[in-house]
Structure 1
Amino acid sequence: MPQLILSPWFFILVVSWVIFLTIIPSKVMNFYFNNEPETASTHKPKTHAWDWTWH
């Protein structure tokens, strides 16, 4: 059964995880995001009570 031969598949697994954990995160983190987070406003919006006109 060729599925039990560990030799080529273990190497492919290790190399793919090395790529996923080292190269790809550094490439993704280099992107500049246009929407930078801003501090929340201290101004609270004025809310109105809801009229229950059918009661």
Structure 2
Amino acid sequence: MNKNKIVFIILAAIFLLIMFWIGIDISRKTTFPGSKGNLKERMAPTESSN
């Protein structure tokens, strides 16, 4: 392998690791919409909740 190919592989691996880390970070901070259940307040908001 020549030097350019090694540098490319290293940079690609670093990029993929960073993208994987960002994906894990975002997924920890959010909740899957289907896991919350269907609350009546969310289905039909009432006027008294102002």
TM-score scaled by length of structure 2 = 0.45
Larger proportion of helix: 2
TM-score scaled by length of structure 1 = 0.42
